[in-house]
Amino acid sequence: MILIEKIFNPLISFHHKRIYRYLCELDIEKIVDIGAHKGEFLEIMLKIEKINSFYAFEPQKKIFNDLNEKFSNNEKITLFNFAMDKEITNKKLKINKLSMASSLAEINEKSLYLKIKNLLTFSKSNFEDEYEIQTNTVDKIFKNISLKKALLKIDVEGFEMNVIEGSQMKLKEIPFILLENQFGNHYKNNNFEDIIKFLLKQNFKICKKFIFPTLHYQDVLFKKI
């Protein structure tokens, strides 16, 4: 674990606990965690007893192995070692030294935020490795699984719109969506306002925002109207 992760982990835990307290009041029985990373969000949400099923997606090979070792014996959790997208294919995953920042999205090399992050992680570039992974869609994976009382949580570093476009059939069922919105132009062709407009057309509205303690991103909760 690199130094910046050690600094951020307590803040992440605090942030997720705020979300947990809010979700406890919602009528949800399932959580679809896309971009599960090391299970930071998953671990806290497991404390919500009324949630009986968790589906966690993490494409990074090493991170998934850690995730599998941690949660494979929990019967409530189903783990998937691939990425979610708008299509079923293979794509190149860019692995960042700060593993929570790995992404399928096209990186904006001019981003000041990314330059600062590279400085803090002692990285010479925005990613240290790249390899091909399988992608799938929410509509395909959950074709025969009801998501009528589900929260769809998406944290995929600038690739959120792709995941949403691959979820259009299931969005007719899903009552809640939790999306990460990063402040700053980190990735190309990534505009959170476009996502808001798209979800408005799908009869969703913003009902709550959770701003991260360092103020560099927020998680936005959408509710079906």
Looking at residue 104, its pLDDT comes to 95
Looking at residue 1, its pLDDT comes to 58
Mean pLDDT (whole number) for 135-155: 98
The string of pLDDT tens digits covering residues 166-224 is: 999 999 999 999 999 988 777 887 899 999 999 999 999 999 999 999 998 999 999 99
| 120 — pLDDT class (breaks 50, 70, 90) | low
Question: Is the pTM above the cut of 0.75?
Answer: yes
Mean pLDDT (whole number) for 75-91: 97
Looking at residue 190, its pLDDT comes to 83
Looking at residue 83, its pLDDT comes to 97
| Residues in contact with 134: Cβ distance below 8 Å, sequence separation at least 6, in sequence order | 59, 82, 83, 89, 90
More confident residue, 86 or 119: 86
Nearest Cα to Cα of residue 95 among 133, 120, 66, 126: 126
Looking at residue 121, its pLDDT comes to 73
Looking at residue 7, its pLDDT comes to 78
Distance CA 135, CA 82 (A): 6
**DSSP letters for the chain:** --HHHHHHHHHHHHHHHHHHHHHTTS---EEEEES-TTTHHHHHHTT-TT--EEEEE---HHHHHHHHHHHTT-TTEEEE-SEE-SSSEEEEEEEPSSGGG-BSSPB-TT-HHHHHHHHHTT-SSS-SEEEEEEEE-HHHHTTTS--TTEEEEE--TT-HHHHHHTTTTGGGT--EEEEEEESS--BTT--HHHHHHHHHHTTEEEEEEEE-TTSSEEEEEEEE-
The string of pLDDT tens digits covering residues 39-54 is: 999 999 999 999 999 9
